[in-house]
Amino acid sequence: MSRLKPAAALAAALLASHPALASVEAGVRVFPVTLTFDDPGVGDEAKTPQITWQRDAGPQNAYEMSWEWDKRITPMTSIIYDQGYNWLHQSGSKAHNGFGNVFITGKWQAYTNAEHEFVAAFGAIREFGGGNATQNLGGDAYGSTAPAIYAGKGLGDLPIGMLRPLAVTGQLSYAIPDRPLNSALNNNGTPRSWNGALSVQYSIPYLQSQVRDFGLPDFFGSLIPLVEANWYSPAAGPAGGFPAALTIAPGVIYFGDGFQVGIEALIPANRGAGHNVGVTLQVFFFFDDLFPESRLGKPLLE
């Protein structure tokens, strides 16, 4: 990651820590796509787009529009492409804009337990460095490789009915940069780093279908309130200019037929994550639901 102001650094960290997203089913549980990190599943789907805004002291405004395409190779493996375009505006100075780095993820949904609504997956995230042209736009001059693990657990086996719609998902990855940071040489490298995230979700569709039908209007019956926590931490020194960052993201997802729309606030929980609240809005389409009989919505190898 380049040496950015906190607002731009937050936008870059969010993209770097969630270069791929996916929905997944485990029995009657459907885990929606989360907005700030990956989920433990594979699918044929696309993010078109996700828009993020963050403001910081200066005043400085960082904007990002990102997009993604997930393609299953087999029913339990996928290749995922993710990229974004960034704008950085600061009062009294020239605006900067340009493409961020490309992320390609290979992912394997390794274990699914339908009875206990549990899913686990493994992946490898490859970031392709963008060169010096992207240094001030949320991209890295050099790439990295990050092995990752993912998990999701629905709480449908709890004895208390109103708690059964709860679910948690998480991700943990370890980024190994192509050029390790050397502060003495000012080599524009990055430190090895941990990226982790956790979500707590309450599925009203699950409540209506599996616990009790309260007769809610269709719109409210399709909502999934959730809170996400996303953190970045250097794994080893030197790490000057790359502070640990923690962001809390409360929001809600509307889960429709073949698509979902989500919105979350981005609340910095420490100085490394910035100073002011931002917002992210995501639109996601599920080709495996919309086009189940076409190659667009089916694995390449079955």
DSSP string computed for 220-280: HHTEEEEEEEEEEEESSS--TT---EEEEEEEEEEE-SSEEEEEEEEEE-SGGG-SS-EEE
The 3-state DSSP class for residue 182 equals: coil
Residue 9: pLDDT band with limits 50, 70, 90: very low
The 3-state DSSP class for residue 15 equals: helix
Enter the tokens of residue 269: 């929980």
Residues paired with residue 63 on neighbouring β-strands, in sequence order: 53, 87
In the numeric block, the tokens 């679910």 are attached to 167
* Residue 296 resides in a domain: no
So what's the pLDDT on residue 4? 39
CA distance 127 to 148: 13
* Residue 302 resides in a domain: no
**Does position 265 have pLDDT exceeding 90, yes or no?**
yes
Q: What is the pLDDT of residues 191-205, one digit of tens each?
A: 899 999 999 999 999
**Does position 168 have pLDDT exceeding 70, yes or no?**
yes
So what's the pLDDT on residue 62? 87
The 3-state DSSP class for residue 7 equals: helix
* Residue 106 resides in a domain: yes
So what's the pLDDT on residue 138? 58
So what's the pLDDT on residue 94? 75
The mean pLDDT value of the chain amounts to 87
Residue 90: pLDDT band with limits 50, 70, 90: confident
Residue of 190, 194, 197, 173 lying closest to 242 (CA atoms): 190
**2 with 251: CB under 8 angstroms?**
no
* Residue 297 resides in a domain: no
Residue of 122, 200, 110, 221 lying closest to 155 (CA atoms): 200
What DSSP element (H or E) covers 290? helix 287-290
* Residue 116 resides in a domain: yes
Number of other residues whose CB lies within 10 A of the CB of residue 261: 13
So what's the pLDDT on residue 60? 79
CA distance 23 to 31: 6
So what's the pLDDT on residue 17? 41
* Residue 299 resides in a domain: no
Q: Which residue has the higher pLDDT, 222 or 184?
A: 222
**138 with 109: CB under 8 angstroms?**
no
Q: What is the pLDDT of residues 21-56, one digit of tens each?
A: 446 899 999 999 999 999 999 999 999 899 999 887
Q: Which residue has the higher pLDDT, 92 or 15?
A: 92
**Does position 187 have pLDDT exceeding 80, yes or no?**
no
Q: How far is CA 122 from CA 40, 146, 211, 234, in A?
A: 8, 11, 32, 22
CA distance 250 to 43: 25
The 3-state DSSP class for residue 211 equals: helix
Enter the tokens of residue 224: 């999934």
Total domains in the chain come to: 1
**Does position 110 have pLDDT exceeding 60, yes or no?**
yes
**Does position 14 have pLDDT exceeding 80, yes or no?**
no
CA distance 26 to 12: 32
What DSSP element (H or E) covers 12? helix 6-17
**Does position 301 have pLDDT exceeding 70, yes or no?**
yes
* Residue 140 resides in a domain: yes
The 3-state DSSP class for residue 218 equals: helix
CA distance 129 to 125: 13
> Which residues constitute the domain of residue 233?
6-290
Q: What's the farthest any 2 CA atoms get from each other in the chain?
A: 65
Residue of 202, 240, 250, 197 lying closest to 223 (CA atoms): 202
So what's the pLDDT on residue 43? 94
**CATH number for position 285:** 2.40.160.40
CA distance 92 to 94: 7
**Does position 5 have pLDDT exceeding 90, yes or no?**
no
**Does position 276 have pLDDT exceeding 70, yes or no?**
yes
CA distance 69 to 65: 14
Per-residue pLDDT, averaged over 102-119, amounts to 97
**Does position 217 have pLDDT exceeding 60, yes or no?**
yes
Per-residue pLDDT, averaged over 262-268, amounts to 97
* Residue 156 resides in a domain: yes
In the numeric block, the tokens 């009915």 are attached to 161
